[in-house]
Structure 1
Amino acid sequence: MTDIDLGRPIQGDVVDLILDDHRRFEALLRDLRDSSQDRDAVRRAFATLHVAHAEAEEKHVYPKLKRKNAVDADDADHGVEEHAEGNEALLKVLELKGTDTQAFEDAVEKLAELINHHITEEELTILNPAREEVGPQVRADLGALFVEERNRQIDQDCGRVDNVRRIVAEARKEGLLDDDDEDDEGDDED
């Protein structure tokens, strides 16, 4: 578990709740880049929040918004792929022994790049349509489901390296991640 406050919302508009987590991600990424911080504690907190947030979105938010025709299925599916890519980059950060190495800084840079891209895209292609196409009661009901799952995941210490490994392996098995360097983003894995 982590001593860093990840928030413990119990209700709210799902759009606002997701945006609150996005701001937490940005703050945690800043702290990960800051060598005066306890980077090990920050990466554990980031891992916990990232997994809990992604799992809650995939379990409740994306499916409901697709059913309501508020978001395009391709945009929701793309969000799931980006969560998988984020988890894969997160795993690399978690598996590094030290937090004061160039390898750590490179891994954090890659993680930040993927997360910031996902946040921007999700706010444009998923949260804007959710605001415009879904009524306040549905957003509130969805917010309750989102925080319930998010908090349950946090209570289960979902950011443990073994759990992130399992999630990444599952995503790879489902074809959400490329096993080689032939993806269209030109990632250099090794």
Structure 2
Amino acid sequence: MTNTNSRQSEYPIDPLFLDRWSPRAFDGKSMPKEHFLTILDAAHWAPSASNNQPWRFVYAHKGSPDWDKFVGLLMEGNQRWAKNASVLLFVLSRTYNISSDGEKKPAGTHSFDAGAAWLSLALQSHFLGYHAHGMAGIFKDKIVETLNVPDGYVVEAAVAIGTIVDKSTLPDDLAEREVPSTRLPLSEVAFEGSFTGKAD
């Protein structure tokens, strides 16, 4: 087992997987653009089915003319803390593939592949000394309209990236939640031979 970051794995995994987590307390400082481009570059090297690379990223840096617009696309609960991130980013995915004859066909793994890109982004952020926090609390229809998302693409999630600071900078209710989360036991999520877990 591995012990780090107030977490303990059941088997000896690399500490990176326990040290990576999703805080809300960010310092509100800008990020060098070359750091963010490195993060994006890592994300776009994620694996995807048939190398179709369905992910797309639309982003804004804190202090840019687009910043307030991006913050406004988050639900209020996320706006409270994500406004102090260095970068806000929306992960999109293309729902179709284009065959060799130019025909559009449904892409069954577009969300799965975009998830791989998100993890690559989160890990590269961690390597550079930042933290990335993914969010589902967003206004998807408003994002599509505001950011000119074309037909055939869906909004998957938002991500806030920044430098972590002490949780005392958060409102009290958020500070209470500012701890690395645990996970279900491995036996509840992985089954040999057939699905033997609870259907919930």
The two structures have a TM-score, normalised by structure 1, of: 0.28
By percentage of residues, which structure has more strand? 2
The two structures have a TM-score, normalised by structure 2, of: 0.27
By percentage of residues, which structure has more helix? 1
Identify which of structures 1 and 2 has the higher relative contact order when contacts are C-alpha pairs closer than 8 Å and 6+ apart: 1
Rg larger for: 2
